[in-house]
Amino acid sequence: MTYAGDLTPTQAWEKLEQNPKAKLVDCRTRAEWSFVGVPDLEILGKQPLFIEWNTFPTGTPNEGFIAEMRDAGVADDDEVIFICRSGHRSIGAAEAATADGVAKAYNIVDGFEGPLDEFDHRGSKGWRALDLPWRQS
């Protein structure tokens, strides 16, 4: 593994709750933030950082991802937790952050919406399915 590890959405919430230096980076696309919803950290006195891993609408890699992450205030000694739709893009983001010097970069397994089920639907796993705080944009 080339990043600090995988967390369940509940474990991620606990880290965000317990560590003032823990940050959540939502690396989905602008369309996903707008139409699916976003994690809501207001009760923790925090805000997610919204940085696309792949750009919308082209899906091309965001070449400025690390620079945007750093500009948003991510430091090497922060615990940085990455979330995407299903826990795949966030692995790449966690790996890139680790390669750039972030010692504690984590991936949220099952992401915000979870994997496809047997009917090719999402939503039975992930952040929203566990009723962790979220909101529509």
- 50 sits in which H/E element: strand 49-50
Q: Give the pLDDT confidence of 80-124 residue by residue, as tens digits.
A: 999 999 999 999 999 999 999 999 999 999 999 998 888 888 887
Beta bridge partners of 70: none
Greatest C-alpha distance within the chain: 42
Please give the residue that has the higher pLDDT: either 122 or 32.
Answer: 32
Contact 115, 125 (CB under 8 A): yes
Tokens describing residue 116: 């496809």
Domain enclosing residue 117, as ranges: 5-135
Q: What is the mean pLDDT of the chain?
A: 96
What's the CATH code of the domain at 44? 3.40.250.10
pLDDT at position 119: 84
Domain count, the chain: 1
